[in-house]
């Protein structure tokens, strides 16, 4: 098992993440600073902040994920190890899945864990914290998977960063709608299991299709 294409890539990428901690920390700092901008821009009234907190936290988590996507394949592309993955006699699907999993562990999971703190700052009621964490937990995983397709498509371009956002953001809309709505429902004291179920279904679909599309996109980007 330790030598399977999934686990070997997984181990390698995880080690790389721990050796370059800034890649992991920067999206989090962005998340923190960007959310702090909102009360400064619209004013500190609690009622207003409660009203917009679910949407703001979700949009900012989406943006933080987008900003971190460019790193997903970039360094491997630059040093040539991506080509080694492509010519390796293993299905690319699992290597891509491993890379995305590590990306989620380094970005999505910390975002999820940081979110309650930001919820407190935006005076989100305590009843909504469960929904916030659950929806972000599932939603960031789906966003990492979908974003991998965009990262794979633009890895060959020198200035891919903004382009990734352009092509991936419309694809994030369902995740955003259901994620933010789950938190909104929890704030109002309504059940939110429907939204989480739909997010889970989306994650399952993305888990099956996105690595496949990203693998195809990587072949196009690297080999032309």
Partner 1 sequence: MNWQWFHRLGSPRWFYEKTQAWLPWLSIITLALLLVGGIWGLGFAPTDAKQGNSYRIIYIHVPSAFLALAGYYIMAISGAIGLIWKMKLPFMVMKAAAPIGAALTFLALITGAIWGKPTWGTWWVWDARITSMLILFFLYLGVIALQQAFQNRDTADKASAILALVGTVNIPIIYKSVDWWFTLHQPATIKFIGKSTIHISMLYPLFIMLVGFYCFYTLVLLLHTRVEILRRESRTQWVNDLAAGKQGSK
Q: Which residues sit at the interface with partner 1, rule CB under 8 A?
A: 149, 153-154, 156-157, 160, 163, 166-167, 169-171, 173-174, 177-178, 181, 198, 202, 205, 209, 213, 216-217, 220-221, 224
Distances (CA, A) of 88 to 4, 75, 105, 117: 12, 18, 25, 43
Q: How far apart are CA 60 and CA 83, in angstroms?
A: 33
CB-wise, 43 or 224, nearer to partner 1?
224
Helix (H, G, I), strand (E, B), or coil: what is residue 224? Answer: coil
Q: How far apart are CA 75 and CA 60, in angstroms?
A: 25
Q: How far apart are CA 49 and CA 36, in angstroms?
A: 11
**DSSP designation for 89:** S
| Residue 131 beta carbon to partner 1: minimum distance, rounded to whole angstroms | 15
| Residue 102 beta carbon to partner 1: minimum distance, rounded to whole angstroms | 22
CB-wise, 24 or 182, nearer to partner 1?
182
| Residue 123 beta carbon to partner 1: minimum distance, rounded to whole angstroms | 22
| Residue 219 beta carbon to partner 1: minimum distance, rounded to whole angstroms | 9
CB-wise, 113 or 166, nearer to partner 1?
166
């Amino acid at each position: 098992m330790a030598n399977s294409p999934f686990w070997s890539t997984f181990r390698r990428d995880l080690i790389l993440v721990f050796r370059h901690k800034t890649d992991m920390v920067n999206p989090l700092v962005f998340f923190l600073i960007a959310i702090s901008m909102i009360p400064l821009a619209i004013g500190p009234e609690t009622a207003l902040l409660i009203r917009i907190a679910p949407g703001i936290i979700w949009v900012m988590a989406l943006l933080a994920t987008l900003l971190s996507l460019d790193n997903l394949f970039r360094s491997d592309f630059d040093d040539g190890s991506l080509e080694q993955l492509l010519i390796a006699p293993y299905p690319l699907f699992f290597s891509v899945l491993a890379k995305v999993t590590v990306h989620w562990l380094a970005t999505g999971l910390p975002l999820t864990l940081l979110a309650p703190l930001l919820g407190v700052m935006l005076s989100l009621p305590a009843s909504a914290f469960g929904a916030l964490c659950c929806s972000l937990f599932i939603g960031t995983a789906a966003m990492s998977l979908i974003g991998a397709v965009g990262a794979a498509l633009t890895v060959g371009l020198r200035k891919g960063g903004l382009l990734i956002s352009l092509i991936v953001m419309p694809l994030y809309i369902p995740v955003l709608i259901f994620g933010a709505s789950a938190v909104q429902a929890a704030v109002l004291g309504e059940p939110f299991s429907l939204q989480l179920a739909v997010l889970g279904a989306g994650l399952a679909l993305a888990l099956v299709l996105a690595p496949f599309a990203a693998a195809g996109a990587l072949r196009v980007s690297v080999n032309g």
